[in-house]
Amino acid sequence: MILIVTEGKKTEREYLHAVHKDLGTGQYVLRIVEAGVPSSCVDEALRLRNDPELPAPEQVWCVFDVDAHPRVDDSVDRCSECNIRVAVSNPCIELWLLLHHQNFGQSKHRHTVQRLLREHTPDSDKDVDYRRHYRGKVPEAMRRADRLMEVAEVSDPKRPHQKNPSTGMMRLLRAILPSTAFED
Beta bridge partners of 177: none
* Cα separations in angstroms, 150 against 26, 48, 55, 147, 172: 31, 32, 35, 5, 16
Please tell me the pTM assigned to this model: 0.95
Question: Is 4 strand, coil or helix?
Answer: strand
pLDDT tens track, the chain, 184 positions: 999 999 988 999 999 999 999 998 777 788 999 998 999 999 999 999 999 999 999 999 999 999 888 899 999 999 999 999 999 999 999 999 999 999 999 999 999 999 999 999 998 776 899 999 999 999 999 999 999 999 999 988 889 999 999 999 999 999 998 887 777 6
Q: Are 95 and 167 in contact, with CB atoms under 8 Å apart?
A: yes
| Domain limits, the chain | 2-182
